[in-house]
Amino acid sequence: MIKALLWAEAYKLMKQSRTWYAIAAVFVLELIVLISAYYQGAAVIDILLNNLKESFYFEGDLLNGNLLIYLILNSLWFNFPLILMLVISGMITDEYKDGTLQTVMLQPVQKKWFILSKYIVATVFTVLMVLVLALSAFLFSYLIFGKSDLIVFIGKLNFFNAVEAETRLILAFLNGCISMIFFSLASLTFGVIFRDTLKTWIVSVLFLIVSNLLLKFDFKWELINKLFYAKLNDTWQYFFQYEIPWNIILRNNLLLVGYIVGFSAIGVVIFNKKDIG
């Protein structure tokens, strides 16, 4: 039964025009970010290397595909989950709005498996979207701007050779996947709770904005800084520290997976308990 439900959910998701608009929006955003990153990149390098100009000549081009992908990563981690949340929350709110939920529930389908299939398809869709984003970012950036060393400022000026930079960028995308799944599934849970499309969108957007604000907020208690969900969403940045802190990355990702499971469980429980009508 679950297999049929998964296929049905995937079909419904790909059938709605909103999904394709979202995919197109991601490409448009990526293109805009790529262009602005190219122009911003020169200023970034200029500032980072300003104090070294007095003592050194520079050989090699730092304004290359790797820097642009890094800037894309920085710029898209707000806009991208926003798009995902709008699409994913629609997976449940549209069912309420169109009344198709009642029709489905007239079939021999367990509510638990029905909502779980939505969470699974939402996860797969999010992963695929991140893959599309990553592949297109690498493809466009390398094709147009080539591949060379990456310069990043995280406390110190970190230089990575081209191969190392590529590996770290791939790892950052993979790690970013977990954050994206968190936001996607949170929006699905909001859909279960609020049912109404517009209300769910507003709450989802608010949640994303607040999460981003709290990311920079320095809590008095170090434990909150370590464990609070909002603080875990830029774990991908650790891949650009010169020595990758694998322990912190593993801890943050495990915590975030815990939050994902928690948010999803809340959605499944609420959906199971609530009447469909």
User: Which residues contact another protein by CB under 8 A?
Assistant: 40, 43-44, 47-48, 50-52, 54-62, 70-71, 74-75, 77-78, 148-149, 151-154, 156-162, 164, 212, 215-216, 234, 237, 242
Q: What is the nearest approach in angstroms of another protein to the Cβ of residue 248?
A: 16
- Least spacing, CB of residue 196 vs another protein, in Å: 30
Pairing of strands 150-154, 156-160: antiparallel
Look at the block and give the residue holding tokens 């969900």: 229
C-alpha to C-alpha distance for 27 and 116, rounded to whole angstroms: 29
- The minimum distance between CB 222 and another protein, in angstroms, equals 17
User: What whole-number distance in Å separates Cα of residue 102 and Cα of residue 121?
Assistant: 20
**Among candidate residues 178, 207, 195, 176, the one with its CA nearest the CA of residue 89:** 195
CB-nearer residue toward another protein: 145 or 194:
145
Give the shortest CB-164-to-another protein separation in angstroms.
7
Cβ proximity to another protein: between 44 and 186 the closer is 44
CA distance 89 to 149: 40
The residue among 243 and 275 lying less far from another protein, judged by its C-beta, is 243
CA distance 182 to 256: 7
Nearer to another protein, 115 or 150 (CB): 150
